[in-house]
Amino acid sequence: MNKETEEKIGQLQSIEQGMQSFLMQKQQLQMQMMEIESALKEIGKNSEKAYKIIGNIMVSSEKEELKKELEEKKKRIELKIKSVENQEKQMKEKASSVQSEVMKGLKEKKE
């Protein structure tokens, strides 16, 4: 195996690690999204009072204000998820390209 092919294999391994990192970020964001959606459902119920946690304490909050905060947070998380997905897509394309180059290099060596 020539040096260029070895470098490309190393690059593929690096890309794989990056993709795993993106996957973990995406999962964390999706969990946050589920928590926010659950909180929004609870706020939507006919409860009179709403509370939010700030640090280690729970404080009373205006129901509509809390709902607005959660909706804004949900939008930010949706944008982050889209950003991670775009980065993930670009990394997959790069991995595919590098993998093709590696396969071509290995095929040429066999011939």
**Helix, strand, or coil (residue 55):** coil
Q: Is the pLDDT of residue 48 over 80?
A: no
CATH number of the domain located at residue range(s) 3-110 in this protein: 1.10.287.370
pLDDT at 16 over 90: yes
Q: What percentage of the chain has pLDDT greater than the value 90?
A: 57
Give the domain ranges of the chain: 3-110
pLDDT of residue 61: 87
Q: What is the DSSP letter of 54?
A: E
The region that residue 55 occupies, defined by phi over 0 for left and psi between -120 and 50 for alpha, beta otherwise, is left
Q: Is residue 15 a contact partner of residue 93, using CB atoms and an 8 Å limit?
A: no
CA distances from 41 to 22, 35, 71, 109 (A): 28, 10, 11, 60
What is the average per-residue pLDDT within 68-75?
96
- Between helix 63-110 and helix 3-44 the angle, nearest 10°, is 160
pTM of the shown model? 0.79
pLDDT of residue 76: 97
Which residue in this structure is represented by tokens 């060596």?
A: 109
Q: Given the structure tokens 């009373």, which residue do they identify?
A: 60
Tell me the mean pLDDT in the region 66-85. Answer: 95
Query: What pLDDT does 3 receive?
Result: 85
Stretch 49-61: mean pLDDT, rounded? 87
Q: What is the pLDDT of residue 51?
A: 84
Among candidate residues 1, 13, 20, 24, the one with its CA nearest the CA of residue 98: 13
